[in-house]
Chain A
Amino acid sequence: MSTSAQATNSQLRIVVVGNGMVGHHFVDQLIEHNTSVGADNSALHISVLSAEPRLAYDRVHLSEFFSGKSADELALTTPEYYQQHKIDYKLNAAVTHIDKVAKTVTTVQGEVLSYNKLILATGSYPFVPPIPGNDQPHCLVYRTIEDLEAISASSKVSKIGVVVGGGLLGLEAANALKEAGLETHVVEFAPQLMAVQVDGGGGRLLRSKIEALGVKVHTQKATQTIEAGDVCRYKMCFADGSFLETDMILFSAGIRPQDKLAREFDIAIGERGGIVVDNHCQTNIDDIYAIGECALWNNFIFGLVAPGYTMARVAAAHILGGDQTFLGADMSTKLKLMGVEVGSIGDAHAKTAGALCYTYENQASAVYKKMVVDSSKKKLIGAVLVGDTSDYDTLLQYALNGIDLPEHPEALILPASGGAKPGLGADALPATATICSCHNVSKGDIIAAFDGGACSLSDIKSCTKASSGCGGCSALLKSVCDAELSKRGVEVKKDICEHFAYSRQELFHLVKVGKLQTFDELLTKHGKGLGCEVCKPAAANILASVWNEFILKPDHVSLQDTNDTYLGNMQKDGTYSIIPRIAGGEITPDKLIVLGQVGKKYNLYTKITGGQRIDLFGARVDQLPEIWKILIDAGFETGHAYAKSLRTVKSCVGSTWCRYGVQDSVGQAIELENRYKGLRSPHKLKFAVSGCTRECAEAQSKDIGIIATENGWNLYVCGNGGMKPRHADLFATDLDTETLVKYIDRVLMFYVRTADRLQRTSVWMENLEGGLEYLKQVVIEDSLGLGAELESQMQVVVDAYQCEWKTAIENEESRKRFRQFVNSDKADTNIVFVEERQQIRPATPEEKASFTQQQQAKRIAVELV
């Protein structure tokens, strides 16, 4: 696939070889420049040549491909975006020749492009040790989407997998194999894991944590041959005479700069590879630049994305006449490998002359922390954190900004006893402090953005791009923004509307503490005016969460949104849809027949929902009670599809029928659905239960997701599909049902109490100070002492459950509301259906107009007769 936009003679022709993360960032810089000068009269013509079959994607989050992210979701850009900005790009178009004199490059297809400026952004390739037998099938690497597809395919026909290399990427790859259900081994040449980033002590702890997760680690092993196995596909023979049988081998033994073009066409390279560049990312040849992982600066390759992005900016600026420079980059990292937190800052191995260490090791909690300070004990120069990286941000700021250490530096890594830690408040950071290293945003940039009119954290994110790269700085960014906002006297206004000067959370407390039972009481005591379409449903929802009374009680009826008032979902023509509860998606043939009969009798459009239920559309308001009477008599109850409350608990078929299931997911789903149905919450809630790690119920995209394990249930929270997908966070593992229910009770009630109006759990989590860790403390460790109260409040709601439709049709007064007219039994003539694919659908306005004409014609005809 390719696009082309002809270059005009006056344009500067820029050719970019490689469309990885850095190559794309470079293009993005030029697009930004183009946009600022007006793309049409731009002086630049940009061509991108990519060896891969797709445009740039997020390699940093590549492993998420295994947890369900699609290639599209990983994409950093789209063909449309490039086309829109007149970027001429070619895919599957590796460059094979450079003619430095004629200033042209040739692609593998033989196409020749001329350039004024050439950018090499060819990245790196995985190093595969020269072991005999390394080129057989099922011997793979971990770098591209295609590699991951091959690993996926191979793991389906393999039982055991070995990762060669115990570095950062190797452990990430091992995690992927483990998640795919393989018995996983890591084979490392060095005596410890992650030897580059962590020291011996940290490595030991890391190893024991990873082994506890079931991954077998073999250190000090040099593989000599890969032969046919006796019980598995292959046998790896080690130099010490031992061996290991495996079905698949994944090489992750480091990366090498992709400098082939430079080697072949005589551009200077380093002794151990890498295209030599200066402070402007220029190679030794005029008009040829190298950026990203293929570039060697000061005899150093930077294998992280942030320094690559800096190089991209520097090279773009140089071409456009600016004079930024690349002067090296910080290689500190913080990451989570198989659930184990690891952080490494600066001189982790204390190699600097005179360096001194402070070490804290807590074997009981499996935490290891080390600080490296200079000989004067004034500056932090390095750190290693394993098992707990909560101090990382603070330590990094001390190291990067050369901030003087406090009198007893060890306090920075020791657990706080009693009082709070000597935290480094946002105010202590100098303006030069880098907050987001991916997009090179300093504290000063943030202050300037506020000066320029930004008013909130989200404004800052969109105008500076801070925190939109690896996301590691989000907590720090928030505290810098909060501090800056409060300094400016901005009080973040959270009033829900003009009638109440309170946030939803505050209203919740007012209702609960004041034991208020009606909106009138709430309005008289704490509000003004008559209320509105914002505060009334919010209050109705809070009253229901606290007291769970019948929502159509006269006191509450005028507060409900139309969907709640008529217990159905209003469609565009004013008709309603009907969704009875089908807990867990399990339904008897008899009940299915009833749904069919009702659909037929009332001529309703029927469709299967995403939540494993059946939706019947096109019922007029006056038909609702009659239809529900039939459904309730057949044993159905309301599905709350109209409410801000639990919708469905989706399930796969589970161990009862499935060959792979390890627990009864359907039974569990039904139990949970029946427990939480009717819980009114700030927004709708969706659950799912999967019977094994194959995750057919897609639980990780739900507010509450449960995945069966051999030993019980893993609980995931705060996921979301829909408009803003969010992968749920793993909250707790191998729970028994009782603990599972206890945790769900607590998580949900805490959400119900503290969330904003119409805030899904995913957004709530993103905004929860302290995030997942904090929620775990509240729920699992009961740090606020609220556990019992949250559970008993949930029990009140569960005990007060009633089928609203049953109550509504039994109650004469409520039933009266279900009519179109107070003074006539006629139906609304504006509701007109036409047929499509053997079912009804609402008529379009044009169809309605011609329908009315026909009716009139008929009437006239009748009169004439």
Chain B
Amino acid sequence: MTNSTNWITVCQESDLVANSGVCALINEQQIALFKVKNAGQEQLFAISNWDPIGEANVLYRGLLCSVGDTVAVASPLYKQRFCLSSGTCLDSDDVTIKVYPIRLENQAVQLQVSQ
């Protein structure tokens, strides 16, 4: 449910790096934030920063890639790719990571986190 009360601001748009990632800490949870420039459009994504295969908080340091129409990040540890919009791992069927709703409100980057 999209309800403006639980959107929280994590940083400014200028803190993001085009076609790359940064990481935010919210309620002790690490969340990787990506800004992807695709055909003139800018899209934001937020996923868990925890790489469940490499077992480390590193996903924001991965390389962005497109696989057909899917936009994904490749873990810097062992290169498994995770879809930025669904969180599914493209290289391992039974692994999925959490994704978070993200939006831009007047230059502020906001996330919707469950309370």
A residues at B contact (CB < 8 Å): 498-499, 529-533, 536-537, 554, 557-563, 565-566, 570, 572-574, 621, 817, 820-824, 826, 828-830, 845
Contact = CB atoms under 8 A, between A and B. Distances in A.
A557 B79 contact: no
B1 interface: no
Contacts of A821: 23-25, 30
A828 B66 contact: no
Given A558-B17, A830-B57, A532 B74 contact: yes
A531 B10 CA distance: 28
Given A530-B36, A533-B81, A572-B77, A823 B11 contact: yes
B38 A530 contact: yes
Contacts of B20: 557-558, 565
A531 B23 contact: no
A824 B25 contact: yes
B76 to A, nearest CB: 4
A560 B64 CA distance: 10
B87 interface: no
A109 to B, nearest CB: 52
B22 A822 contact: yes
Given A824-B25, A830-B56, A562 B76 contact: yes
A532 B24 contact: no
Contacts of A574: 56-58, 61, 77
Contact of B10 (A529, A530, A559, A822): A822
Nearest to B38: A530
A820 B15 CA distance: 13
Contacts of A560: 63
Contact of A826 (B11, B25, B58, B66): B25
B101 interface: no
Contacts of A829: 28
A537 B55 CA distance: 24
Interface string B8-45: 00110001111110111110101001001010000000
Contacts of B25: 820-821, 823-824, 826
B71 A561 contact: no
Contact of B57 (A565, A828, A845): A828
Interface string B77-104: 1010100000000000000000000000
Contacts of B19: 530, 558
Nearest to B56: A574
B49 to A, nearest CB: 9
Nearest to A820: B23
A566 B61 contact: yes
19 contacts: A499-B66, A530-B65, A530-B66, A532-B65, A532-B74, A537-B63, A557-B17, A558-B63, A558-B64, A570-B77, A574-B57, A817-B22, A820-B25, A820-B57, A821-B23, A822-B22, A824-B24, A828-B57, A845-B55
A822 B20 CA distance: 13
Contacts of A536: 63, 65
A555 to B, nearest CB: 10
A-B interface, 6 closest residue pairs, ranked by CB to CB distance from nearest: A532-B65, A562-B76, A530-B66, A558-B19, A533-B74, A574-B56
Contact of A532 (B15, B58, B66): B66
B112 to A, nearest CB: 16
Contacts of A563: 76
A572 B56 contact: yes
Contacts of A820: 23, 25, 30, 57
Give the interface centre of A536, A558, A561, A830 by most chain B CB atoms within 10 Å. A558
Give the interface SS of chain B, mostly helix, strand, loop or mixed. strand
Contacts of B74: 532-533
Give the interface SS of chain A, mostly helix, strand, loop or mixed. loop
Contacts of A830: 50, 56-57
B56 A822 contact: no
B33 A822 contact: yes
B67 to A, nearest CB: 7
Contact of B61 (A529, A532, A554, A565): A565
Give the interface centre of B15, B64, B81 by most chain A CB atoms within 10 Å. B64
Nearest to A519: B19
A573 B56 contact: yes
Contacts of B66: 499, 529-532
A624 to B, nearest CB: 12
B16 to A, nearest CB: 8
Given A561-B63, A821-B30, A823-B24, 11 more contacts: A498-B68, A530-B66, A561-B76, A562-B63, A565-B20, A574-B61, A621-B61, A817-B17, A817-B22, A820-B57, A823-B26
B58 A562 contact: yes
A533 B73 CA distance: 8
Contacts of A566: 61
Contacts of B61: 562, 565-566, 570, 574, 621
Give the interface centre of A531, A562, A824 by most chain B CB atoms within 10 Å. A562
A530 B23 contact: no
A531 B73 CA distance: 11
Contacts of B56: 572-574, 830
A532 B36 contact: no
A570 B10 contact: no
Contact of B65 (A533, A817, A824, A826): A533
B55 A530 contact: no
Nearest to A554: B18
B54 A572 contact: yes
B44 to A, nearest CB: 13
Given A562-B76, A821-B23, A823-B25, A532 B67 contact: yes
B67 A498 contact: yes
Contact of A823 (B10, B67, B68, B81): B10
A532 B23 CA distance: 20
B33 to A, nearest CB: 7
B84 to A, nearest CB: 11
A251 to B, nearest CB: 57
A822 B23 contact: yes
A558 B15 CA distance: 14
A820 B22 CA distance: 8
A826 B63 CA distance: 24
Contacts of A533: 62-63, 65, 74, 79, 81
A558 B64 CA distance: 8
Nearest to A536: B63
B38 to A, nearest CB: 6
A574 B55 CA distance: 9
Give the interface centre of A529, A536, A560, A621 by most chain B CB atoms within 10 Å. A529
A822 B30 contact: no
A562 B67 contact: no
Nearest to A537: B63
A831 to B, nearest CB: 8
A214 B62 CA distance: 58
Contact of A822 (B11, B28, B76, B77): B11
